[in-house]
Structure 1
Amino acid sequence: MITVPSASQWGSPTASRRALLIHGLNSSSHTFHRVASVLAAKGYLVVAPNLLGHALRKPGVDFQVQTLADDLLPYFQAAEYDIVIGHSMGALVVLSLLKYLPKTKPTSVVLVDPSLELSAEQMVDAKVRFSDDVRTNPTAEDYMSLNPLWTREDAIWRVLGTHIGRPTNSDDHIDGNVPWSFSRLIADRPAAAALTILVAQPSKLDCVAKIKNIRTVIVSNASHWIQYEFPDVIVEEALRNIEE
């Protein structure tokens, strides 16, 4: 029997189609609750693992994105997936797993608002932004006030994700991945994998402008948390890859 790390699951275990959803930094599997619910309603068994150092899981020997990815390899040994989606740092984990996807089975891969390339200055700014959530300890009401498109459930899962992760996660994972450069991993995707990148800010796509055979989508009026604000867009793009 293959032992897999802790995860949340939606849909029927007997479903013929499968989706794997990977959360980002200072978050947890339930950040995808809205996307997962829609996919489950469409007949998918949806599995969302909790990354090392998150959701009360102890960290690995280091904080490299590849280490987070390798920890999830049992999921690929246990099953094949029609859809693989990652948010933020989880999208970088997905990129690190592309080389393990089946070579011939069509797979829809969706990266949700990833920062594929960051300068040293941008890495410092990112540490400050993520650390603020831990330091200021926002409530669900605070998040709902700042993000009018969020539901109360979204805000609760955001608070919980921060509280059940390690307080030094942001610093450890950002410092552990210098230089922050991941767009090169797109070349590892099998020919059968269709790749879509969803972003809130067009500038995040500059580093992939010359890469062929990927779909890029700018989600208007979205923040970094597209899975809360426009979950249907994520699902539509994931299914579009399969249909085409």
Structure 2
Amino acid sequence: MTPATPGGPAPEPGTVWLNRASWGRPGDPLVVCLHGITSNASSWTDAGPRLAELGFHVLAPELRGHGESPRPATGYDTATLLADLRRVLPAAMDVLVGHSFGGYLAQEGVLRGVFRPRALLLEDPVSHQPDAATPTAMLEWDRLNLPRTVEGTLELNPGWSRKDAAGKILSLEQVHWDGARAAFAGNAPWDQRPAAARIAARQPTAWLLPGTSRFVPAEDVAALVGAVGQDSVVTVEKAGHSIHRDDLGAFTALVERLHRKAAGR
């Protein structure tokens, strides 16, 4: 676990110190990766080292109730989740990546001024959650049905590496399911879709989507393209929800493209 920064600001009441994974050299352009619900920092087990090879410093915090971070009974509201992240991350970063529920938190963090990234990558983000019942049912299905073996996970996700599969199994063992429900369902409903153009106007932003998404359906993709332009919406047709696992090359290429754009190159 990364130690607290000496002499830093006093932590906000109710926050916890999050575990973080790190790859690359401090001082290199900073990429922050926010994982999805029930996941952990091992979601980036291939992406982190690859980005480090490309010259980035990568930080991947684990949300409360996930990975090796604390598992309190409360504090899963959006404001507290963002306050946790504020304790362990700088406000300014070169590229902020938010996957799935992490995409929701990334957008909220930008809108609320918690994060000031030079570029933003939203990977199949949960920008719209219509009610609490839908995410509750999704999580219960995952809890009961997702495979708990490497072979079973690879059968479901043939594009993943064995390390990716092992990390997913670990994340399902570590997650505090009540906390995940409180975060994913307890903050619902929300709708960030009307804010897409406003978010994209703040920094170079890309939405990275699979060919078929349960979180960004075709009608939302069309509206998104209308709001932010076709160049800001990148679709990887054969990928699933975890595009950084299914097509690492497409993911890292987009991170590099956004970084160059933000740097004016």
Structure 1-normalised TM-score?
A: 0.85
Name the amino acid aligned to 1:119.
P
Which of 26, 45, 48 lines up with 2:38 in the alignment?
26
* CA displacement 1:176-214 (0-9 Å, x = unmatched): 122132234546648551110111125252453442367
Corresponding residue for 1:100? Answer: 114
Corresponding residue for 2:95? Answer: 83
- Inter-partner Cα distance in structure 2 for 1:55 and 1:113: 21
Asked if the contact 2:130–2:188 (Cα under 8 Å) also holds between the matched residues in 1, the reply is no
Which of 46, 64, 78 lines up with 2:77 in the alignment?
64
Which of 62, 69, 74 lines up with 1:50 in the alignment?
62
- Inter-partner Cα distance in structure 2 for 1:188 and 1:51: 26
Unaligned runs of 5+ in 1: none
Q: Secondary structure of the equivalent of 1:232? A: helix
Which of 171, 175, 191 lines up with 1:181 in the alignment?
191
State, as a whole percentage, how many aligned pairs show the same letter: 24
Which of 258, 261, 264 lines up with 1:241 in the alignment?
258
Name the amino acid aligned to 2:51.
L
Corresponding residue for 1:130? Answer: 139
Change (3 A) 1:64 1:113: same
- Is 1:143 the counterpart of 2:153? The answer is yes
* CA displacement 1:45-83 (0-9 Å, x = unmatched): 111001111114224744233321221113444x63111
Asked if the contact 2:95–2:258 (Cα under 8 Å) also holds between the matched residues in 1, the reply is no
Structure 2-normalised TM-score?
A: 0.79
1:85, distance to aligned residue in structure 2 (A): 0.4
1:194-213 aligned within 5 A: 194-200=204-210, 201=212, 203=218, 204-206=220-222, 208-212=224-228
1:160, distance to aligned residue in structure 2 (A): 0.7
1:112-131 aligned within 5 A: 112-120=123-131, 124-131=133-140
- Inter-partner Cα distance in structure 1 for 2:81 and 2:162: 29
- Mean alpha-carbon deviation: is it higher for 179-188 or for 15-24? 179-188
Name the amino acid aligned to 2:205.
L
RMSD: 2.5
- Inter-partner Cα distance in structure 1 for 2:135 and 2:74: 23
Corresponding residue for 2:51? Answer: 39
Name the amino acid aligned to 1:212.
V
Instruction: Tell me which of the two structures has the higher relative contact order, counting C-alpha pairs closer than 8 angstroms and 6 or more residues apart.
Output: 1
Unaligned runs of 5+ in 2: 1-5, 12-16
Asked if the contact 2:207–2:234 (Cα under 8 Å) also holds between the matched residues in 1, the reply is yes
1:147, distance to aligned residue in structure 2 (A): 1.4
Q: Secondary structure of the equivalent of 1:81? A: strand
1:128, distance to aligned residue in structure 2 (A): 2.7
Change (3 A) 1:243 1:151: same
1:115, distance to aligned residue in structure 2 (A): 2.2
- Inter-partner Cα distance in structure 2 for 1:10 and 1:109: 19
